[in-house]
Amino acid sequence: MTIDPDENRLLLCSMSLGYTAYHVWALQSRRERRYNIARIFEASSCVKRVRAERAFQSLGEVGSTGENVSRALDGLEPNAVATGPVTGTSPLSRDLLSRASRALAEGRDLNAEEIGDLYVCSNCGELIEGEPPDVCATCGTVREGYLPFRAAEAMGNLGPYSIVRKIEQTPATLRAIIDGLSNEQLSLRVAGHSLKELMGHLTDMDVVFRERAWLILETDNPRLPSAHPPTLSRATGYNTQKIADIIDAFQTSRQQSLGLLRGLTPAAWHRTGYHVIYGTIPLTHQGNWLVDHERGHLIQMAQIRHDLLQQLGGPGQLKLPANLVPEILQGE
Ligand SMILES: [Zn+2]
């Protein structure tokens, strides 16, 4: 298959646009805790990236690193091209997006029965749902060359050691976030939620995680209590509590969770539970879920602290701008 430079420029342009569109939509789906739909966007974005890379290579724009640095300094100047549609361009892509659309119309993510694992051929960008074939039907690449977008890894790829390390650090991070702030500041609802509420919410979620982890470790492939973990809107009661009590409660819960996880064998971390959204998932999935959820809120809290301290500094800055913090992360 030979393609002339004009066609390759068109491909590069259209695939790069599609890549960016799908990538940014995936980030938004994650913010809305629609992880299966995020996976459709991530796999679709990967398809476009692989194809954009091929077109870019074919245009002769890739040399040695030294040559590429020179090219970069010269400044690549793409020709403007009218590309036509850049997303939803294959039957499978339209099918996946239609399924996502129907689930969202019901106010939910796709569940495990409605979407399989996704794979993208790393050589040609062919998208597959379900088990990949031994070789790519389009280009002959072996199955090891497929890039996976599996439900089991949708929360991240941290291993047991990294998961434990990260969640061990959270109590110290929380203490640093509240350091030097007044009770009034800790209770002030910035962009919807106060630092006290957010910290209380982290305790609620730690309890959910520990219950699920305990079930996975103690029973065989349990059905995980999943549909309704405590959301942030249920954390308002924390605003009237003392910050010392809120931090203590988190610390106590976290110690219990760490007590459950420390010393687990790799086999124990690979024990599974059944989650209605993700399907059969290992304990590592839930560990990544806890880390991912906490990271989102810690960034949010650091931003609130920063803004509260700014507010103290300059005159005329008493009112905080709206929409400082991305949309609140919900439980699932
Ligand atoms: Zn292929």
- CA of 290 from ligand 1 middle (Å) equals 35
- CA of 59 from ligand 1 middle (Å) equals 20
Q: How confident is the model at residue 331 (pLDDT cuts 50, 70, 90)?
A: very low
Angstrom distance (rounded) from CA 160 to CA 205: 19
Does the pLDDT at position 323 exceed 90? no
- CA of 135 from ligand 1 middle (Å) equals 8
pLDDT at 289: 93
pLDDT at 137: 93
The structural architecture, per CATH, of the domain 160-313 is Up-down Bundle (1.20)
- CA of 48 from ligand 1 middle (Å) equals 13
Tell me, what amino acid is at 4?
D
- CA of 124 from ligand 1 middle (Å) equals 4
pLDDT at 191: 76
Q: In this structure, are residues 45 and 19 in contact, taking their beta carbons and an 8 Å threshold?
A: yes
Gyration radius from the chain CA atoms:
23
pLDDT in tens, 170-217: 999 999 999 999 999 999 998 789 999 999 999 999 999 999 999 999
- CA of 136 from ligand 1 middle (Å) equals 4
pLDDT in tens, 122-140: 999 999 999 999 999 999 9
CA angle centred on 174, ends 173 and 175, rounded to 5°: 90
Q: How confident is the model at residue 2 (pLDDT cuts 50, 70, 90)?
A: low
- CA of 15 from ligand 1 middle (Å) equals 16
Of 153, 292, 148, nearest to 209 (Cα)?
A: 292
- CA of 141 from ligand 1 middle (Å) equals 5
- CA of 127 from ligand 1 middle (Å) equals 9
pLDDT in tens, 103-122: 999 988 999 999 999 999 99
Does the pLDDT at position 332 exceed 60? no
Does the pLDDT at position 269 exceed 60? yes
Q: How confident is the model at residue 227 (pLDDT cuts 50, 70, 90)?
A: low
- CA of 143 from ligand 1 middle (Å) equals 9
pLDDT at 86: 81
Domain ranges, ordered by start, for the chain = 5-64+88-149, 160-313
- CA of 46 from ligand 1 middle (Å) equals 13
Does the pLDDT at position 151 exceed 50? yes
Q: How confident is the model at residue 9 (pLDDT cuts 50, 70, 90)?
A: confident
- CA of 186 from ligand 1 middle (Å) equals 54
